[in-house]
Amino acid sequence: MAEKKKTCFIIMPISTSDPFLDKYRDGVEHFKHVLQCLLVPSVEAAGYKAISPIAKGSDLIQAEIISNLEQSDMVLCDMSCLNPNVFFEFGIRTSLNKPVCVVKDKLTEKVPFDTGILNHQEYRETLEPWELADEIKKLAEHIKTSEERCKGENMLWKYFGLRTEAKPYTGDSGTDAKMDYLTMQMDSLRHQVGNIHQRSERHVVQPEGSHMLDNESLFPVVLSYLPDGVEPTAFESRSDGDIQLTYTGPFSPINRYRLIQKIIKQYGVKLHLEREPSEETEDSQQGAEDDA
C-alpha cells in the first residue's frame, strides 16, 4: 500500500485589499495568481499535498479552516500585506504547537517582532515567468528546511518557552451546542447588517425630499469621480435597474474597478462603464497600421 502523502495547508490573503491594489499590477486577483503559480507548485515540489485556502468557489468555510489548521502536517503561511485573518489562523496553528513555514513577498517590508524571529522566505511578487522556476525551487527548499528544523513542533514554543498547548474539543457536539452556534451566527449577521445600515446613513447623499438618489441624479456624482482625460459621451438607465456610462479617453482597469465599487457601496447601484465603440475601432485600426 502506498504511503499516505503529507499535507500542507496554505494560509494567505485571499484577495488584495484596497490599500494594496496599486502595489500589485494584477490588482484584486494578485493572490489568486500567487497561490496558483507559486505556492501550490512549491508545496508539491517539497513533497506535500497542497490544501488550498479556497473552498467552494470563493467562500471560506471556517470549520474547514480550523480542521486543516489542526490536522495538516505543515502549514505554509504567507504574511504578505500583514492580513489580520492570516495572523489569526497563524495564532491557532501556533497554539496547537504544530509546525509552520513562513513566507512573504518583497513588498512587505517587515513582520511583527514576535514572528520576525522566525526564518522568512521572501518571494518576488511580480511572478515573472522567467523567474518562477527559481522561486519555486527556493520556496520548496525553505519548506523542507522548516520541516527539518521544526521536528513536528512550532518553533515559537522554543523561543518563548511555552508549556501548555491548546487541545481540540473532544466533547459531543449535541443539539444545545449546535443551537448556541446558530445563535452566535445570527448575532454576527445582525451586527453586520447594523454596520452596513450605519455606513449607508453616513455615506449616502440624500437630496431634499428623497431617501435615495435616482439614476438621473447620479450622473453628476459619477462625473465628479472621473479622472482627468476621461470624457462622458452617454449616461443611461438600463432595463435591469443598473446605470451605464459610455466614455472616451484613458481609463485604467484599476480606476474603473474603484469607481464601480464606490458607486455600489455608497449608492447601491451597479455602474457599467463602456468605452466609446468608435474609439476602440480607431485603436484597433491604429494597432493594425503599427503592425503593418
Residues 155 and 21 in one domain: yes
pLDDT digits (tens, 9 = 90+) for 139-158: 999 999 988 888 888 777 76
Q: Using CA of residue 60, residue 63, residue 64, residue 65, what is the dihedral sign?
A: positive
Which residue range is the domain that position 268 belongs to? 215-291
Tell me which DSSP letter residue 8 carries. E
Number of domains present in the structure of the chain: 2
More confident residue, 19 or 206: 19
Residues 52 and 146 in one domain: yes
What pLDDT is stored for residue 33 in this prediction? Answer: 93
Which of 138, 160, 182 corresponds to the end of one domain? 160
- What's the mean pLDDT when you consider all of the chain? 79
Work out whether strand 243-248 and strand 7-11 pair parallel, antiparallel, or are unpaired. unpaired
What pLDDT is stored for residue 237 in this prediction? Answer: 85
Q: Is residue 183 part of a domain?
A: no
Provide mean pLDDT across the span 207-211. Answer: 38
pLDDT digits (tens, 9 = 90+) for 50-83: 999 865 544 446 778 888 999 999 999 999 998 9
Question: pLDDT band at residue 120, thresholds of 50, 70 and 90?
Answer: confident
Residues 31 and 153 in one domain: yes
Q: Is residue 227 part of a domain?
A: yes
Tell me which DSSP letter residue 29 carries. G
What pLDDT is stored for residue 236 in this prediction? Answer: 85
- What is the three-class DSSP state of 3? coil
Which one, of 109, 118, 219, 190, lies nearest residue 160 by Cα? 118
Q: For residues 247 and 263, is the Cβ–Cβ distance under 8 A? A: no
Residues 139 and 222 in one domain: no
Q: Using CA of residue 185, residue 189, residue 194, residue 196, what is the dihedral sign?
A: positive
- The CATH number covering residue 245 comes to 3.30.300.20
Residues 111 and 229 in one domain: no
Q: For residues 74 and 48, is the Cβ–Cβ distance under 8 A? A: yes
pLDDT digits (tens, 9 = 90+) for 24-50: 888 888 999 999 999 999 999 999 999
What pLDDT is stored for residue 204 in this prediction? Answer: 44
* Global model pTM greater than 0.75: no
Residue 233, C-alpha cell as written in the block: 459621451
d(CA 176, CA 182): 10
Q: Is residue 67 part of a domain?
A: yes
d(CA 249, CA 230): 5
Q: Is residue 287 part of a domain?
A: yes
What pLDDT is stored for residue 38 in this prediction? Answer: 95
What pLDDT is stored for residue 210 in this prediction? Answer: 36
Q: Is residue 73 part of a domain?
A: yes
- The CATH number covering residue 69 comes to 3.40.50
